[in-house]
Structure 1
Amino acid sequence: MQLLLPTLWNQAIHIGTPLGDQFSVAWLEDSDSHDLTKETLAKQFQDVVKQTTMSHPQQFGQKSLASLEVGQFQGEKSKSKIHIPKRHSRDLINARDVPLVILRRKIDRTNDAAEAAVLEKRFETLIAGRRFLESSIKKIVSQLCSYGYCSDVKRVMSTRQPLINHSTYSKVAEKFQSSCLNLGVHTHGMKFMYVFANLVESNNFTQSTLDLFLEDLERACNNHIVNHGFEAII
């Protein structure tokens, strides 16, 4: 996912957050520039998807509603269109890099040496935490491969199989959350959950083999992640 930085970021660094992700901003711009009494939900979705190049929007729910006008849901508005300035790619940042971008810009803007040192230390800690986590996930996968759950660490780390077995994946994710890494605190860990989806889809787990896998996962976590010492890997 890509996020848009505020246009006046340099003048309003205290905001400390982007305006929104690429899809939501494209949706707002589309709503401002069309007659919502005529544009259908289907047409709006198609137009917004064209403007969303860094993620993969999908439709859910009762798709038969797609033929209805947007105005029935967002409210009718004036037919006059608002001119939307063209956005530039430089306004986009990866959603996962928001904490780093915010810190880096604060460091660049401060004139206080003491504050800069504190921010720089925090920045370095964030980088170190991310590097530790990526290395640790690779080690966990390597250990699981040594147990026979996979044959190629690089393949597990570099591919993204479609997730079909949601029930089994949920159990694996819950085990990782409870015995390995609290994803509510260490949010950067979400980046690597596809790895466990790959392992789930590559193994035809029965209840007994899944139980064994969960034990092996906990063992690998204890070896490579537990007691890592980082306050928050974000």
Structure 2
Amino acid sequence: MLFARFHQVTKGLMKTYLGDVYSVNWIEDSDARHSLTGETLQQQFKRVLVETNTSHVKEFGDKSIGRISLSQFQGSKTYNKTYDGKVVITDAVASGDVPIAIAYKRLNTHQTEEQKFVNQFKYEELLRARNFLINSVKHLIRELEVKFVSVDSIWSDKKELTNHDCYTDLIHQFDNHCFDLSTHPFALRFLYVFVNICETLENRNLGNVHIIENWISR
């Protein structure tokens, strides 16, 4: 899960968040260096990783570039400036909560009665959609309780994913028939439920994943 911070305000209304905690920590770390020639990309990554405790930062791609000097990516000029120290992050918002956080902040800005009505409607609409999503996932789990397993184990466990085919099929069905994951970031918070379902089905040999797919597509 990513946490966003720093937001853009245009004409008194909050528009979007401009970065996540890791990227802001990374920029601030570079700003604190008098010179970027004496440190590698990997060394900086490890230091910023320690400072980022709101998301699970991972490396990917060609890791061999980690041996290259930072100056190859950010320039070799030296800076004669005073760094005031690390900014304490107090406004970070979980990525899945960004749309509702923006809508809420807009309610507390100076606006016309018409703007207030529109923004109130949008905020309440997001709340309704969120509640509908939560109830839909819980309903799916209750269906499983009758047939297979307990609600508590599916809702609270954090199993390791090994049954990738099952998981991919379920996510595809959920994305097509329930919530478009690309436009409902809050839904990503519940993907672990599908991991638990697939691992339970696999471990207990309780039947075919198509049983669950059929329920989702109804």
Partner of 1:5 in structure 2? 6
Give how far 1:60 is off: 2.0
Greater shift after overlay, 98-107 or 125-134? 98-107
Matched position secondary structure for 1:199? helix
* Counterpart-to-counterpart distance in 1, 2:85 and 2:18: 16
Give how far 1:10 is off: 6.5
Give how far 1:219 is off: 1.8
**Alignment of structure 1 residues 150-161 onto 2, 5 Å:** 151-161=149-159
* Counterpart-to-counterpart distance in 2, 1:3 and 1:173: 25
Give how far 1:20 is off: 0.3
1:95-137 per-position Cα deviation (integer Å, ceiling 9, x unaligned): 2222222222222113312221221121111111101110110
Partner of 2:184 in structure 1? 186
* Counterpart-to-counterpart distance in 2, 1:194 and 1:204: 15
**Alignment of structure 1 residues 198-217 onto 2, 5 Å:** 198-204=196-202, 209=207, 212-217=208-213
Matched position secondary structure for 2:137? helix
Partner of 1:39 in structure 2? 39
Matched position secondary structure for 1:78? coil
Q: Mark the CA change 1:153 to 1:13 in structure 2 (over 3 Å): closer, same or farther.
A: farther
Q: Mark the CA change 1:84 to 1:201 in structure 2 (over 3 Å): closer, same or farther.
A: farther
Partner of 1:226 in structure 2? none
**CA contact 1:5–1:93 (8 Å) conserved in 2:** no
Report the identity percentage.
Answer: 29
**Alignment of structure 1 residues 157-168 onto 2, 5 Å:** 157-168=155-166
Give how far 1:195 is off: 0.8
Partner of 1:218 in structure 2? 214
TM-score for the superposition, normalised by structure 1? 0.79
Q: Mark the CA change 1:213 to 1:17 in structure 2 (over 3 Å): closer, same or farther.
A: same
Partner of 1:23 in structure 2? 22
Unaligned runs of 5+ in 1: 223-234
Query: In angstroms, what is the RMSD of aligned CA positions?
Result: 2.7
Unaligned runs of 5+ in 2: none
* Counterpart-to-counterpart distance in 2, 1:172 and 1:194: 12
Matched position secondary structure for 1:77? coil
* Counterpart-to-counterpart distance in 1, 2:10 and 2:193: 40
* Counterpart-to-counterpart distance in 1, 2:59 and 2:28: 19
Q: Which aligned runs of 4 or more in structure 1 are off by greater than 6 angstroms?
A: none
Which letter does structure 1 place at the counterpart of 2:5? L
TM-score for the superposition, normalised by structure 2? 0.85
- Aligned pairs, number: 216
Which letter does structure 2 place at the counterpart of 1:127? L
Partner of 1:144 in structure 2? 144
1:56-109 per-position Cα deviation (integer Å, ceiling 9, x unaligned): 111223334333212223332325466255323422122222222222222211
Q: Mark the CA change 1:140 to 1:221 in structure 2 (over 3 Å): closer, same or farther.
A: farther
Give how far 1:184 is off: 2.9
Partner of 1:111 in structure 2? 111
* Counterpart-to-counterpart distance in 2, 1:122 and 1:87: 32
Which letter does structure 1 place at the counterpart of 2:20? D
Partner of 1:197 in structure 2? 195
Greater shift after overlay, 19-28 or 72-81? 72-81
